[in-house]
């Protein structure tokens, strides 16, 4: 795979591509994801065996850019929860057109880790632009998530969820509800999409472990699921 860095409408983007890709994969690029980007792409290649382009776009402020509504437990800044629509607009109106100009109109998989996974899943409830969602250890402990998800079904056809087995076993009373929220989301997805079109994978360890492997597993499952259509 070839690797390059581009500036697309003011945001730095890491891009890794194969010859004649079949899918466009999009993820967030936070500081913690810069060091694992290349390895994530390699792991997806090994697991899927399908050519793709993986593009990661710069996140300026992790909470501000990716939190869909305000929750003091995430950040007390009153602006948090007001900018995520701008982030989605960047993906659909700037990043995707630039990628499609280079690679053509291909099925798009939106993914991410932690708040990036939350953003990906929320985005799939706002637009049908994404064929699949790869949500690795998503921060679904945000307040009122399940009520929102019940009211706004996903528009993607395939959804991957994962969680570390220790993520719900923490002292923080807000974060520890993530297990029940992810299980609840999975039940909603099975009802909305059918059990064959979604999955929930449990990983060993806590939240800050094996980010490259978890993201790669998420994207690889989505690719394989779309290949079966």
The CB density around residue 226, as the number of other CB atoms within 10 Å, is 17
Going along the chain from its start, the domains and CATH numbers come out as 2-227 (3.40.50.1820)
pLDDT on residue 32: 81
Please list the pLDDT of the chain residue by residue as tens digits (229 residues): 788 999 999 999 999 999 999 999 999 998 888 888 999 999 999 999 999 999 999 999 999 999 999 999 999 999 999 999 999 999 999 999 999 999 999 999 999 999 999 999 999 999 999 999 999 999 999 999 999 999 999 999 999 999 998 988 998 889 999 999 999 999 999 999 999 999 999 998 877 777 789 999 999 999 999 998 7
pLDDT on residue 1: 79
**0.85 exceeded by pTM:** yes
pLDDT on residue 187: 98
Is the distance from CB of 53 to CB of 18 less than 8 angstroms? yes
């Amino acid at each position: 795979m070839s690797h390059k860095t581009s500036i697309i409408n003011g945001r730095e983007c890491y891009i890794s591509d194969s010859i004649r890709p079949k899918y466009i994969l999009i993820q967030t690029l936070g500081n913690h994801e810069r060091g694992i980007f290349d390895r994530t792409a390699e792991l997806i290649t090994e697991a899927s065996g399908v050519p793709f382009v993986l593009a990661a776009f710069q996140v300026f402020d992790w909470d501000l850019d990716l939190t869909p509504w305000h929750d003091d437990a995430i950040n007390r800044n009153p602006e948090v929860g007001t900018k995520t629509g701008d982030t989605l607009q960047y993906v659909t109106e700037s990043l995707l057109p630039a990628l499609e100009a280079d690679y053509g109109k291909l099925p798009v998989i939106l993914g991410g880790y932690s708040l990036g996974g939350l953003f990906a899943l929320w985005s799939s409830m706002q637009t049908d632009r994404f064929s699949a969602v790869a949500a690795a250890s998503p921060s679904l402990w945000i307040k009122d998530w399940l009520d929102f998800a019940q009211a706004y079904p996903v528009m993607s056809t395939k959804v991957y969820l994962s969680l570390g087995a220790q993520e719900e076993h923490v002292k923080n009373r807000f974060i520890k509800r993530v297990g029940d929220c992810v299980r609840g989301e999975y039940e909603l997805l099975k009802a909305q999409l059918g059990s064959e079109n979604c999955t929930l994978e449990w990983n060993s360890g806590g939240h800050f472990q094996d980010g490259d492997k978890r993201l790669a597993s998420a994207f690889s499952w989505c690719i394989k699921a779309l290949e079966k259509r």
